[in-house]
Structure 1
């Protein structure tokens, strides 16, 4: 099923619902749906995050208290 057909089917389902509380929840969910933050990051930011994850996976980490000492 393509995306347009899926949307039409979803609208049909919603039209048959008489529960206003449910409709309010679905409406709120749709209004608040955000795109994945990852897509909003620059390539440099994505690369920094990937490097941080790689560092952690390779055991390159420090205690939080040490981190606080470095930045203060």
Structure 2
């Protein structure tokens, strides 16, 4: 079954549901799936995060106290 057919089948199922609570849960689920914070970040922000993860993976860490000293 292709994606378009799956969507149509899903819509048919949803149209036949009369349970308000269930519809609310489905709506909340769909809305939460749409808002992936990663996609809302700029490419520069994503690159910074990836760089930070790479540094952590290499064992390059700075303690919270050291960070506070540096920015104060």
Q: Which bracket does the TM-score occupy, shorter chain normalised?
A: 0.7 to 0.9
Provide the residue aligned with 1:29 in structure 2: 29
Structure 1: tracts of 5 or more residues without a match: none
TM-align CA RMSD: 1.9
* Segments of 4+ moved more than 6 angstroms: none
Structure 2: tracts of 5 or more residues without a match: none
TM-score by length of 1: 0.76
TM-score by length of 2: 0.76
Per the alignment, do residues 48 and 3 of structure 1 end up closer, same or farther by CA in structure 2, a change over 3 Å counting?
A: same
Question: How many residues are matched?
Answer: 72
